[in-house]
Structure 1
Amino acid sequence: MQWTDEQIGDIRKLASEGFTRRETADKLGISYDALQGKARRLRIEFQKPLKNEYDSDGTNRETPSADRKVALNADGSQTVTALMRLKHEPNKDPRTLMELCGYDPDKFEMVLGDYKVYEQHSTEDGTVPQYSIHIRVKPKQGLSINEMAEAFNDKIIPVNYGMKKSGDRNLVIPLPDLHFGWTTFADLKDMVSQLREIIMDGYNEIVIEQLGDLFHSDQIHVTQTVRGTQLDHANMRQAFHDAVKLFDQIIPLAIEYSNHVSMTAIWQPTGAVHTC
């Protein structure tokens, strides 16, 4: 991004007036990440929404609220109402509202949230705005989108496989309902070893069929089916690593010992078929 002197001047001005990084980025219409990088290089200090010191459960040790009420709900979520005086009207994005109410956005996700503004009269300060922030949050479970991407992209190294052996027969490898997250790669170790020996006999074509549920959970953040049925908790980060490890053991070997390899994935509830 090319920065103008005017933009840099605006950043310094808003920072000196007590705006946070996120508020400054929104006012200037630039990305938060770009602003953060530029401010760090220029050593521009911004107002912090609160002291981000969190206990092990993800709640903040210190909140700017003079009045904060928390209710625990039956589904494990928490409903919070916080009254506070702020220098500037806050953004309504989930991260800002959770931080103002004392929650770590990396450990909680917001179900709903909003705020109202009231005028508070004081002989010392005059008329000042008071904000009533109301949110409902729940602990994050499983993987975030970034964590899922990291799991898929972990230590990926492009390689070229040369042909070692082929034949005139065809081989179909069905892999139904593996349920990674409940199943681990260690559970399949003997099966994978036998399968590798079979592949190394050499074939004209090898078809790998991934059928049904590859993962135990259809959700990323909760262990549930696509219809919302609650399942036993599964470590979905480890599930992705185990799935990648399985196919890393099979697909490169199939390429080396056959003239052609294809993979078909079929899953419910749509019965969709994808071939590559």
Structure 2
Amino acid sequence: MIRLNWTDEQKNRIIELSKQGLSSPKVAQQMFDEYGINFSRRTVARFIATGHTSSHYKGKPKPKVKDVKRGTEIVINKDGSTTSSTTMQMTEEQAKDPEFVLRAHGFNPDDWDIVSARNNFWQQNSVENGLIDLYQSKITVKPKVDNDIKRAVEVLTRDIKPIKVKHSLDSSRKRNLVIPITDNHWGITHLSDVQDKLSELLDIIKQGYGTIVIEMIGDMLHSDKINSTETVSGTILEDVDMPKAIDEAMQFTEAIVVTALENANTVMIKSVGGNHDFDISYMFMIWIKERFKQAQVDVNNRYRTAYLLGHVLISIQHGNVNKKNPAQILANECRHLWGIATTTEIHSGHLHFDKTEDQNGVVFRQFSTPKPSDDWETMNGFVGSNKLMYALEYNDDRLKVEHFI
């Protein structure tokens, strides 16, 4: 094993890059690009912090990526991964170094993880260098999940300033309003698609209510990721512009919540995740909680939740799980609320069409979606359902008015 001592030039260059504000991983990447040596990120960080290196780089100086990635074959797979195959010259130690292998294939280790790797070894006589070690290298990589989350957090949390809404109590407001929002699939849906419906909903809210409950019943956003378009389970979807989708979802939500705060004594926001956006919707709810301090916001990572509105017990769930006997599950999980309620309802979405059914006194309301038909729905002929939004007015013990918007 050969130990490589850093030269004064290399040390000075590391210090210079650090002073420019580059992180240790980026300094290591830049040093690799300039010197063709795979500097350890940990050792670089130690040197920046202390001016000393307590361990030496293991292995021979490594050839630059530009020398080893000739003839690389790149295949983009349906699951979002990428497969790269190439022939390169490297040592046995280098073949065991994930960072070196990633860089040799042209991938930044900060942005990609190796899913699988296979390096087949053989030796070949070289006119210039004699007997050399060669590898047929094939790797499959995926973007780092943390990178997706970081980008999502940046979009969802930038410039969060709580809104202060003029909010007053009015004892004349007797009825309550429930606004179920499900399967908007922002990214497929745009503000222009629902502008008229949103305006009509705001007019209903302005009538004034004792309590307004906004139910976020899942699949508000079409994708659970930012860099790629796929569901929480990894199903690949048609591409959408997710930063724009998040921005439009924010505008839509803000218009409803602000108007609700102006026209209700109490505003509650309840939520569950969907099969498309379970993870990112959780972060979206954190944004809602930070943005609207005057509302009672329920942030959770559950598949179902329930609340009491007067003597009306309402459970919300997206509709993709707990299909067998949701009423019995509700009675078991919420026994104290079940005993108080005179009316019990379960609200869901997921299937994109409207359906109401009374099963032994428990009313199941499955809501449609205002989203336009996407390519998959059009291809399969699922285009006949009404594109609706809803607002439900309740008194203390039952539904009184149902608005189809």
Q: Is 1:101 the counterpart of 2:108 in the alignment?
A: no
CA distance in 2, matches of 1:35, 1:89: 24
* Offset at residue 117 of structure 1 (A): 8.1
Segments of 5+ residues of structure 1 without an aligned counterpart are 1-9, 39-46, 51-61
Letter of the 1:148 partner, please give it: A
Residue in 1 aligned with 2:89?
84
Residue in 1 aligned with 2:155?
151
Residue in 2 aligned with 1:64?
67
Q: Is 1:264 the counterpart of 2:296 in the alignment?
A: no
1:179 to 181, 185, 200: 185
CA distance in 1, matches of 2:7, 2:264: 63
* Offset at residue 263 of structure 1 (A): 1.0
Q: Is the 8 A contact 2:182 2:216 kept in 1?
A: yes
* Offset at residue 235 of structure 1 (A): 2.1
CA RMSD of aligned residues (A): 4.6
CA distance in 2, matches of 1:49, 1:204: 71
CA distance in 2, matches of 1:12, 1:173: 67
* Offset at residue 190 of structure 1 (A): 1.4
CA distance in 2, matches of 1:215, 1:49: 45
CA distance in 1, matches of 2:137, 2:119: 4
* Offset at residue 152 of structure 1 (A): 0.6
CA distance in 2, matches of 1:158, 1:268: 26
Letter of the 1:198 partner, please give it: I
Q: Is the 8 A contact 2:177 2:209 kept in 1?
A: yes
Q: Is the 8 A contact 2:182 2:217 kept in 1?
A: yes
* Offset at residue 225 of structure 1 (A): 3.8
- Normalising by structure 1, what TM-score? 0.64
Residue in 2 aligned with 1:160?
164
Deviates more, 1:156-165 or 1:146-155: 156-165
2:41 to 20, 25, 34: 25
Identity %: 26
Q: Is the 8 A contact 1:81 1:135 kept in 2?
A: no
- CA deviations 1:212-264 (Å, max 9, x no partner) are 32122345544334455443222222221121111111112222222211111
CA distance in 2, matches of 1:91, 1:238: 41
CA distance in 2, matches of 1:230, 1:122: 45
Change (3 A) 1:134 1:74: closer
Letter of the 1:81 partner, please give it: T
1:237 to 240, 243, 250: 243
- CA deviations 1:196-222 (Å, max 9, x no partner) are 222223221110011232122345544
Q: Is the 8 A contact 2:76 2:82 kept in 1?
A: yes
CA distance in 1, matches of 2:63, 2:157: 34
Residue in 1 aligned with 2:253?
247
**Larger-gyration structure (1/2):** 2
Residue in 2 aligned with 1:112?
116
- Normalising by structure 2, what TM-score? 0.46
CA distance in 1, matches of 2:135, 2:11: 22
SS at structure 2 position matched to 1:254 = helix
Segments of 5+ residues of structure 2 without an aligned counterpart are 15-26, 30-38, 52-60, 276-301, 308-405
* Offset at residue 182 of structure 1 (A): 0.8
Deviates more, 1:10-19 or 1:198-207: 10-19
1:190-201 matches, within 5 Å, as: 190-201=196-207
Q: Is the 8 A contact 1:78 1:138 kept in 2?
A: no
Change (3 A) 1:110 1:243: farther
CA distance in 1, matches of 2:306, 2:45: 41
